Amino acid sequence: MYIYFLSVFKPEFKFKKYHLLHFIPSVLFFLNGSPYIFMDAALKNRMIDEFLTNPAIVFKLPTLVFPYLFHVIFRVGQSFIYLLLAFQLFFTSFKNNQFKFQNVQGYHYSYYCLSFFFAFGYYGISIYAGIKINPANNLFSSQPEYINSLVASPRFLNALFILTALFHPKLVFEKYFHEQSRKTNQSARKPNHANESDGQKYDLDEIERLFSEYMLSKPCLEMGFSLNSISDGTKLPVHQISYFIKQRYNQSFNDWKNELRIKHAIELIDSGEAKQLTLESISMQCGYRSRANFVDAFKKVTGKTPSEYLAKHNKS
């Protein structure tokens, strides 16, 4: 889930070999539980029969290193940590979208919220159950109904979590849907006369209308804003958008994007809204992932660093 959210909310993310390190704990848990996997079938059947009358037998399952009770707690605990990391990625993106439940790229934050609700419930109750069903608490024999409810509750929430994704496949395959949409749009709008000039092939008035409507929400201030973002929001092919920006603003896409972002930063400073903000906070509000990129873009557009501009502004 963490790797999935990295791919959704970090457009520059690419799976590298070192990401395989995230799977090491799962391999270790598998190895710890491997003695039960390779246990003799007859012995497994005897344990299953005994489990029907003495559920605490489950804590006597053979493990390689640490007892089964800790095996369960550590395994669920590790998953819960990754869930928190995934939630941090989601929340940052949700906050940058001003807590709206759908952004211009079509991410359906309402479904993500629902999924996290079920996921936190599942892992939270699972950790609590793993602690409470310690054989020392004697819950299996003294409170069988309570323990059955405790075990069943997280499984029910896990089923709801899975159903959320099943009833909304775009939650899982968001990037695939966008890519297919871009390919369809590019194919549908492909120019028929290759030897004509771009100006003749494109309906610039229609492009400007769609482009202007899309830009009203200032999507350029979102992290990861790109030509593909505009394509998703306007349903126009990337090559038409790139041509329009070059013709309309006489700039490359990156120069145009940086100019808009730096103008917004200047507005924040001049209006006094940035008075209590750090440079990092200002850069994030303008769509930059790092302070260094913000400083470089600011100096390129204004000829001054943000610190120099702030100092001059404070003096005046």
Can you tell me whether residue 108 is helix, strand or coil?
strand
pLDDT, average across residues 15-25: 87
User: Which pLDDT value is given to residue 188?
Assistant: 45
Angle, helices 204-215/227-234, rounded to nearest 10 degrees:
100
Give the pTM. Answer: 0.49
Examine the fold and report which residue of 156, 172, 188 is the final residue of a domain before the chain moves on: 172
Query: Does one domain contain both 28 and 130?
Result: yes
| Cβ neighbours around 141 below 10 Å, total | 11
Instruction: Provide the number of structural domains found in the chain.
Output: 3
Look at 244 and 56; give whichever has higher pLDDT: 244
By C-alpha distance, which of 128, 115, 124 is closest to 170? 115
pLDDT tens-digit profile of 43-90?
888 888 877 666 667 777 888 888 887 777 788 888 889 989 988 888
Examine the fold and report which residue of 250, 270, 301 is the final residue of a domain before the chain moves on: 250
Query: Does one domain contain both 38 and 53?
Result: yes
Given a contact cutoff of 8 angstroms between Cβ atoms, the answer to whether 237 and 198 are in contact is no
Give φ, ψ of 18 to 5 degrees: -70, -15
Q: How far apart are the first and last CA of the chain?
A: 50
Given a contact cutoff of 8 angstroms between Cβ atoms, the answer to whether 68 and 29 are in contact is no
For 194, the domain range is: 175-250
Residue 161 predicted with pLDDT over 60: yes
pLDDT, average across residues 121-135: 75
CA angle 230, 235, 238 (to 5 degrees): 55
Query: Does one domain contain both 157 and 9?
Result: yes
Query: Does one domain contain both 148 and 231?
Result: no
Query: Does one domain contain both 234 and 107?
Result: no
Examine the fold and report which residue of 225, 250, 275 is the final residue of a domain before the chain moves on: 250
Q: Which two tokens stand for residue 191?
A: 């120019």
| CA dihedral sign of residues 34, 40, 44, 50 | negative
Can you tell me whether residue 136 is helix, strand or coil?
helix
253-260 contacts at long range (C-beta below 8 A, 24 or more positions apart): 253/227, 257/220, 257/225, 258/297, 258/300, 258/301, 259/301, 260/220
